[in-house]
Amino acid sequence: MKRILLLCLALTTVLHAADKKPRAMRLKGDVILADDFSLEKLDEKWVFAKGEELAKFEISDGTLLMDQSAGKGAVIWRAFEAPVQDVSVQLLVKPWACSWIAFGFYTPGDRPGAQRKINIALTQNGAVSVRDVDGVKNLKAVNTRIPSTEWQRVAFESKGDKITVQVNDKVVLELKTELTEGEKAGVLLNLYGGKGSVDEIEVKKLK
């Protein structure tokens, strides 16, 4: 009996560690969008293609569960009230059963998925990269070696032509590229190759 209790305690400790969420980063700016996915249903301001043969998005245990399902990819986005130039986004990401989860901003246009220039992508093995969407290539990458079952709090700041990426309150990537310049109309999340989770997204307009 004692051995069973010890095994249960060990399992509980492991599960708790896996669900531990890094603290929020103190980024400067004014909040223009925030969602902690605490409601029973996903806020209708989030937009995605609907249908049985498409990707699925739902609230699960207070987080956003992204499931590629039978779709070609899982893409979901949310518009800002007005376009902004310089902006940051931070969110919790757990790519626990997918190839990668990516996020970034899209420019004004009728097709948000086609209006992306760059994405920040996180893979199952802990790699974080800045991706040129049109060129389908990594501009810069780093390996955090964080297990896919653990939450990572990632922040992406776009200011002028400068990109700064932080993971768990530590700067891991800095890059200058004209791809990040210009107006941003909203934020977009993209998953490929299975399932993953996102939580506590916050977007700020930089001063």
Q: Mean pLDDT over all residues of the chain?
A: 90
What local confidence, expressed as pLDDT, does residue 66 receive? 98
Q: Please determine, for residue 9, whether its predicted confidence score (pLDDT) is greater than 80.
A: no
| Closest-CA residue to 104 (of 204, 187, 45, 172) | 187
Q: Which amino acid is at 145?
A: R
Structural domain boundaries in the chain: 24-205
CA angle 190, 191, 193 (to 5 degrees): 155
Compute the distance between CA of residue 141 and CA of residue 29 in angstroms, rounded to an integer: 26
- How many angstroms separate the first and last alpha carbons of the chain? 60
pTM flag (> 0.95): no
Reported confidence tier of residue 133, pLDDT bands at 50, 70, 90:
very high
Extended strands (E) in 39-97: 56-60, 63-67, 74-84, 87-97
Compute the distance between CA of residue 88 and CA of residue 12 in angstroms, rounded to an integer: 35
pLDDT in tens, 88-104: 999 999 999 999 999 99
Reported confidence tier of residue 3, pLDDT bands at 50, 70, 90:
low
Tokens at residue 39, please?
Answer: 């409601």
CATH superfamily of 24-205: Exo-inulinase; domain 1 (2.60.120.560)
User: Is there a contact between 147 and 140 (Cβ–Cβ < 8 Å)?
Assistant: no
What local confidence, expressed as pLDDT, does residue 205 receive? 98
Find the helix or strand (DSSP H, E) in which 189 lies: strand 184-192
Other Cβ atoms closer than 10 A to 131: 22
